[in-house]
Amino acid sequence: MTIARAREGRNWGVYLSTVALVAALAAYSRSGNRNPLAQSPDDWKAERQYPPLVFNSMAWLDCAISSSANGKQVMTTTSGQGFSFDAVMLPIKSSKLQLISQNGQNGMKYKFDSFPNAAVKAHFTGLGDGMITEMKSEVEVAVTRFTQPGGAGTAIHFTAADIAADSAYVEFTGVFVRGSDRKPFPFRVLFGKVRDGSGTVIPVDTAPDTKIMSKMVRLGSVKFPVTVTTALYEAEDNVAKLQAP
């Protein structure tokens, strides 16, 4: 076969492949189906076309998590409209723990991100039961004092009274899918000031700037729950378009 004939055959093959691809795309578009990649922006716009619903509730949070094994995060809403769930959490991959000595007083800061190991069964007061299909937990806490009876590198203990004012930042971001109609609700949960609770954090080593090996923290209690703000986006159907008078 000559080079010219080879090139001619190859060009003809490319032409036939292109025609087949165009025909397939045309048939797909006529079928009424949409490309999932093209559908996502429309869904995003529909769910966020109107301002979010904003709820206030009272809740407590119990969290036990480590860098080497699955942990647990339990949120219980005691009043108002909010989430209740019991999630198995993956080991912490990214964390930071700092011990701070200032003016003769020892303080501490820690932060980490965590994620459930699978979709989480959840209840939202007023919306019903469903599944949390996407979720990220962001935690950042600063305490003005703590105790460490075992010395450097051992368990650090603190109470709610030790937490610096407005320095317990706990945020959940994700998507809740209601079970009754499979309707998705993108959400953000933010915990407020903590009046009751305690925590234990174990560092990975004796360094003052290190990472978290494990931690067990309770924010709030049945008697003194934490104020929680939840924002939910909801796609609304059949909202009337009004004409100017």
What pLDDT sits at residue 238?
A: 81
| CA-based nearest residue to 82, from 190, 237, 174, 158 | 190
The domain segmentation of the chain, as residue ranges, is 50-232
Let me know: does 74 contact 86? Beta carbons within 8 Å: yes
Asked if pLDDT for residue 149 goes beyond 70, the answer is yes
Let me know: does 219 contact 168? Beta carbons within 8 Å: yes
Cβ neighbourhood burial of 202 (10 Å; 0-12, 13-18, 19+): middle
| CA-based nearest residue to 62, from 219, 190, 172 | 219
Residue-wise pLDDT for 36-79, tens only, equals 334 455 666 666 678 899 999 999 999 999 999 999 999 999 99
| CA-based nearest residue to 194, from 236, 143, 231 | 143
Residue-wise pLDDT for 88-139, tens only, equals 999 999 999 999 987 778 899 999 999 999 999 999 999 999 999 999 999 9
In DSSP notation, 2-41 reads -HHHHHHHHHHHHHHHHHHHHHHHHHHHHTT---HHHHHH
28-35 contacts at long range (C-beta below 8 A, 24 or more positions apart): none
